[in-house]
Structure 1
């Protein structure tokens, strides 16, 4: 199996997803190698590709993240791997993004200092793959560049792309119970 070449048209570059398994003899093999089929197109949100899911949100069958399956921010009792292409801040329709965050029940409805502020009941490993982005907390911010990793521990946070270019990030989101040691 071989991955398809990256598309050159509009939208984010596909993520090559390689998945392992075992054959009938118990030997390790590659079972999937190609573009991740799940792409989100929620109005107001940045383009995202869900790569793999465990827990309650996983789709039944051999592929837990098939094309057309919708996912929340994380998966109850499991994990969710997502790649997001954040456009520059000035390209957002902030009203649509607010609706998207409201639909998922994660938007900061207080006096947030940036339109992307939200909070999920998860620990998130956020990895900048390409570009740069500012990670914002209620108090403080830091510029992240390719290779930087942020550990988001069920806190209110936001992402601000002020670079004028897209920023690609990978997120591993792990569901946590309220009060869990993070």
Structure 2
């Protein structure tokens, strides 16, 4: 047959009809896709007691599609809001870290503590030499505590570590404590006052001391601060970690206008 010519109509073969002639036509069957794909169920799950995040989960997917193309499991991450690093957090009775508090890892090495004393014969000796563990809930190293003022220097090589029995941060009346604190980038403490005299040395990084009158003082490595019972906040506004050491000594109450100033712990703005 020449190219482009057509065969006579008598030789054409017609495809059989989809339905026999004269038979009624039934409606087109429903697609199996619609029967295998029920409407998904949407579930919203809140993460953490502080509402750190919200995850939407789609369930009741097509089992066949799910088997062939399984959906990867996604781990929801909490918000990037950093917890407060507290140089003077609220007393132990009101400070309750939770399991939802994100764990932070300071890049600084642990703090080594060396404690000296005397033998019964009057010789000077080292009674303790160890690396102190960090308290992850407040990023603090407990170094020393004395429940009396002036502190006692017991004789003997058996060192009694009083700080283990005094986990609260503000020292009790007639007591003093020595601690190191690590501040995460962007962290802010409570607005707080403790009835104490605090001696601080900034070892690493930078930090801003903010008073209740709005005064802000930027501190750098090597700077010192004498905190005399004022209402204040610490802000690490840098992108780097900061470490400060504090010696806190219980002080007499401050009287202004015949009224004593009390310890105070409130969230910062």
TM-score, with length taken from structure 2: 0.48
Label 1:73 to 1:21 Cα distance change in 2 as closer, same or farther (>3 A).
same
Contact conserved, 2:146 with 2:163, CA < 8 A, in 1?
no
Structure-2 change in CA distance of 1:146 and 1:115 (3 Å): closer
* 1:103-142 alignment runs, 5 A limit: 116-139=190-213, 140-142=215-217
Over 6 Å off, 4+ runs? none
Q: Bigger radius of gyration, 1 or 2?
A: 2
Unaligned runs of 5+ in 2: 1-103, 149-158, 256-269
Equivalent of 2:167 in 51, 70, 79:
70
Which residue does the alignment assign to 2:110? 14
Find the counterpart in structure 2 of residue 154 from structure 1: 229
SS of the aligned residue for 2:162 comes to coil
Distance 2:175 2:240 in 1: 32
Distance in 2, Cα, partners of 1:127 & 1:115: 17
DSSP 3-state at the match of 1:118: strand
Superposition RMSD on alpha carbons, in Å? 2.5
* Structure 1 residue 116, shift from structure 2 partner: 2.6
> Which range moves more in the overlay, 80-89 or 28-37?
28-37
Gap regions ≥5 residues in structure 1? 1-8, 93-113
The separation in 1 between residues aligned to 2:231 and 2:240, in whole angstroms, is: 25
Query: Is 1:54 matched up with 2:54?
Result: no
Would you say how many aligned residue pairs link Structure 1 and Structure 2? 141
TM-score of the pair, normalised by structure 1: 0.69
Q: Name the structure 1 match of 2:263.
A: none
